[in-house]
Amino acid sequence: MFESIQSGMGGRPLGGPAGYSAWSVWDQAPQSLRCPSDAAPLSAAMAPTFNYVVCLGDATGRHSSGQQVSNANRYQIARGLWAMGTYLSAATGTNQVTFGVRYKDCTDGLSKTLLLSERCRPRQETRAAGLTSDGSISVKRGIARLDPNLCRTLGSDTYPSGTEYKITSQFRWTDGAAENIGFTAHLPPNSPSCSASAAASTDPQNSQWMSLAATSEHVGGVNGAFGDGAVKFVVDYVSVTTANSGAVNTSGTPSTYSLWGALGSRAGGEVGSIE
């Protein structure tokens, strides 16, 4: 894979095309991104999907790589250890500045901050707009912006037949759209996942306001990898408070989602552990 990327296999640019582009290297997720416990047979069309996803933090909005915000709001993108976006320079209001997350930005400590978790692979074809759920796990669209509680009331992490959902969930491992590569620490593990946008596409502008629960085929919880490399099992009943849900937190303020949210934020100043 490394050689194919570096050489731009198939006449592509050296280093490969944009991560959202259709390319044989991007279209087949590495086996290491798949959880052995999620081994249900899938159709050939869904075989490239994967499980392990990055932590987007505990804020409800401005997800997906490449989000452009104002200088004042730039930290609202990156509540977690994984984020990349652009903001407009305060000096001119026009110059785009690209930023990401650095080790020194994780003031809560790498051992207390989630980097990765998992989501079950969708069981049905999810690359065509206009399709509805066949009853397997998917990301429901059209839920009111900023309130994960509205998502939680839907019940389980699967949706009845006929539910409209976001397409290409967990389909291309290099595509920064939130529903492809991430999870959020709003609702406890194995909760429903929702998007505020009614659009089916995974364009970053349609992936800004989302609640993406970590889910798994394990009994009672999910695995979480922390910034220091430790992997721990997080139970479904991990402490989550949603009374103040809907807040778009800035960096440096405590999470409003109790312990689960604290583990998802990198610089909230919370004191908490799942030990």
Placement of tokens 């291309």 in the chain: 172
Token pair belonging to 177:
């759209």
Q: Where are the alpha helices (DSSP H) in 170-241?
A: 178-181
Summarize pLDDT for 56-96 with one digit per residue, the tens: 888 777 665 555 566 566 555 668 888 766 666 555 555 66
Nearest to 175 by CA among 33, 63, 18, 32: 18
Euclidean distance between the first and the last CA atom of the chain, given in angstroms as a whole number: 38
- Rounded to whole angstroms, how far apart are CA atoms 231 and 31? 18
pLDDT value, residue 55: 93
Domain boundaries, the chain: 1-29, 34-61+106-269
Assess whether pLDDT exceeds 60 at residue 157: no
pLDDT value, residue 51: 92
Summarize pLDDT for 233-245 with one digit per residue, the tens: 999 988 877 555 5
Q: pTM of the prediction?
A: 0.84
Contact 154, 192 (CB under 8 A): yes
Backbone angles phi, psi at 71, to 5 degrees: -55, -40
Percent of the chain's residues with pLDDT above 90: 20
Cα-based distances in Å from 80 to 57, 124, 185:
4, 30, 9
Where do the DSSP E strands lie in the chain? 52-55, 67-69, 85-88, 96-99, 114-118, 140-141, 182-183, 194-195, 210-211, 221-226, 231-235
Contact 170, 49 (CB under 8 A): yes
